[in-house]
Amino acid sequence: MSQNDNDLLIIGAGPAGLATAYALKQLGIECRVIERGKQIGYAWTQTYESLTLHTGKHFSHLPGMKFSSSTPLFPSKGNLLDYLSGYVDRFKLNIETDCNVKQVTHDDNGWKVDTSRDEKRTKILVIATGIISNPFVPAFDGQENFSGRIVHSAAYRKPEGYKGKRVLVIGIGNSAAEITVELARNGIDVTIAVRSGANVVPLKLFGIPIQYHSVLVQNLPRSVRDMMVSAMEMLTKALKGSPVLPKPSYSVLDRQPVIGFKIVSEIRDGRVKLRGGIKEFTEGGVVYEDGEKEEFDEVILATGFRSALGMFGGNISLDERGFAQRDGVISVDHPNLYFVGHNYGTIGGLRNIYHDSQLTARLIGEKYATLKA
């Protein structure tokens, strides 16, 4: 197979798509990248204004280009967007913005991608849409009767619009914790509803970002890492006191924890009220699973995201978390379908993108070499 313009298409011009395009270009393989938004990294532009990475800049950059020395240790949303723009300019990546994918189908000639602009054909397809572009909105009994406003955390930008309101945040992940803290520190009456608990880890341990520790020990045996987690939990308890959030059934090694103790401090100091799961909504508020009732004006669903794979119309296999089933980065359904940015392990999504983009490029390069031989 000799390369032409129809050989390779990447969907998504966020970190995953840009990193993969760069890695391919380093192998002499040109590709097209399409982005649904009017600018690169569109999904990141739609996040709350105060967003700051929990991962340090040394393990959050893409292949080929580090963050500048003037960038803070934990880059802000603005820092990241400026970095992505500079990345495209530096490596002259081929990006087509404002091109929303409507449907993806496969036939004997390869992939057909129907977009808001035109129909595109390609032999190899890379999905780099990540998981922050498709908010998960659960349905609660009675929510249609609620007289207030219900929004997903993806719609939250800043606290000013919530002044003087009674706000309920449902969920406990990093977005839930950060939004709740921001509301509380702006004098807003805020409650967080936590159904199943969460692990909380320090942002830094011994002055070093917790992510860096995770990277250093990721290849150690699980039993050793379990002991290290236990030691960290005992140290945290000694320094910060007993946990205020319910302990979940899973380990910090198995699912992304809440990073940083700001939410814990706000709950302890009484600026955030902690409640359990939601049973149902009423006209004026909610009923908790313990039967208690409480009234609210605003509800923010910090209930996470799912992979943006609706474009396939259900024609690819998914795992129990809604990710495409893969063998590494390759779809189990199609040998010419790759996924980058869909591996969100505990060492950080951007760190995983760094590795998976290069792996994807290497595998595609090997495929080209085999077909040319």
Mean of the per-residue pLDDT values of the chain: 93
Assigned CATH topology for domain 8-134+305-372: FAD/NAD(P)-binding domain (3.50.50)
Residue appearing with tokens 């805020």: 190
Token pair of 47 as six digits:
């996040």
pLDDT of residue 370: 74
Local confidence band at 372 (pLDDT 50, 70, 90 cut-offs): low
Give the integer Cα–Cα distance in Å for 314 and 307. 12
Assigned CATH topology for domain 143-301: FAD/NAD(P)-binding domain (3.50.50)
Residue appearing with tokens 């050793």: 224
Distances in whole angstroms, Cα of residue 255 to Cα of each of 199, 234, 252, 335 = 9, 19, 6, 28
Check pLDDT > 80 for residue 131: no
Alpha carbon dihedral 356, 359, 364, 369, in 10-degree steps, equals 170
DSSP secondary structure code for residue 310 in this structure = G
pLDDT of residue 238: 87
pLDDT of residue 1: 43
Q: Do residues 338 and 364 lie in contact, with contact meaning Cβ atoms separated by under 8 Å?
A: yes
In order, the DSSP letters of 155-184 are: G---GGGGTT-EEEEE--SHHHHHHHHHHH
What predicted TM-score, i.e. pTM, was given to this entire model?
0.92
For the chain, state the CA radius of gyration.
22
pLDDT of residue 223: 96
Local confidence band at 87 (pLDDT 50, 70, 90 cut-offs): very high
Residue 241 has φ and ψ, to the nearest 5°, of 90, 180
Give the integer Cα–Cα distance in Å for 209 and 194. 26
Question: What stretch(es) of the chain map to CATH 3.50.50.60?
Answer: 8-134+305-372, 143-301
- Residue 122, by phi and psi: left (phi above 0), alpha (psi -120 to 50) or beta? beta
pLDDT, tens only, 47-78: 999 999 999 999 999 999 999 999 999 999 99
3-state helix, strand, coil in the chain (%, to 5): 30, 25, 45
Give the integer Cα–Cα distance in Å for 31 and 337. 14
What would the 3-class secondary structure string for 242-305 be? CCCCCCCCCCCCCCCCEECCHHHHHHHCCCEEEECCEEEECCCEEEECCCCEEECCEEEECCCE
Token pair of 18 as six digits:
């840009």
Q: Which residues, at least 6 apart from 103, have a Cβ–Cβ distance to it below 8 Å?
A: 113, 114, 311, 313
Give the integer Cα–Cα distance in Å for 127 and 134. 14
* Helix/strand/coil for 119: strand
Hey, how many other C-beta atoms are within 10 angstroms of the C-beta on 253? Answer: 17
Local confidence band at 6 (pLDDT 50, 70, 90 cut-offs): low
pLDDT, tens only, 148-182: 999 999 999 999 999 999 999 999 999 999 999 99
